[in-house]
Amino acid sequence: MSELRIRKVSPWPEMGIPAVVLDDPAGKRILQVGIRPDEAFRLNQELVGCPCTRGSVFGLVGEIVRELGGEVAAVLLDANGPDDLVARVALDRRESRLFLDCRIADALALAVRLKVPVFATAALARLVDETGVEVAGRSLADPCDAEGWLEGVRPEDFCRHEEEGK
């Protein structure tokens, strides 16, 4: 397994969705994963350390795990195929390790909040090496570039929630 770091959350113009950009510490592998606008917003808030994230669900999950005698140890990103990336949260408790499936953006936000490492499995690293996954149309800017993310966000990127029956 190789460690990854989250570089930024940014628009992915070619796909019309936001994406999270990750790379390895040497910068040799770059991975871009499409995520929903609401996930992009939450992940970016964790990345920039926004004070409004106090009391976030990611902190709550960490507290619950700790209170139950466990620890979130890491986040693993894996590939079942080129279009099937998955995230697993590794939980340690009483000399055992559990791997729980999680949405990629939520697993990454949890890793940021709890300051745990993110790893790519050998299968994902191989896929990135074989397919040359690259960042589409964006430079790797500062991961705390909230302004850059906001520049590309459009009102239609967010869901409209209307009360039914009105």
The predicted pLDDT at position 134 comes to: 43
Range of the domain at 76: 2-151
* Count of structural domains, the chain: 1
Q: Does residue 96 sit within a domain? A: yes
For the record, the structure tokens of 7 come out as: 């570089």
Q: Does residue 159 sit within a domain? A: no
The predicted pLDDT at position 89 comes to: 94
The predicted pLDDT at position 111 comes to: 94
Q: Provide the 10 A C-beta neighbour count for residue 104.
A: 19
Q: Does residue 140 sit within a domain? A: yes
Q: Does residue 135 sit within a domain? A: yes
Q: Does residue 124 sit within a domain? A: yes
The predicted pLDDT at position 81 comes to: 73
pTM: 0.73
Q: Does residue 158 sit within a domain? A: no
**Would you give per-residue pLDDT tens digits along the chain (166 residues)?**
889 999 889 888 787 889 898 888 877 778 888 888 989 998 988 888 876 656 678 888 888 888 888 899 999 999 887 777 889 999 998 889 999 999 999 999 999 999 999 998 888 888 777 766 543 322 333 334 455 556 666 665 554 444 444 4
- Residue 59: CATH number of its domain: 3.10.690.10
- 115: phi > 0 → left, psi -120 to 50 → alpha, else beta; which? left
- For residue 89, the one-letter residue type is V
Residue that has been written with the tokens 């430079």 in this structure: 139
Going along 109-149, which residue ranges are E strands? 118-120
Q: Does residue 157 sit within a domain? A: no
Q: Does residue 116 sit within a domain? A: yes
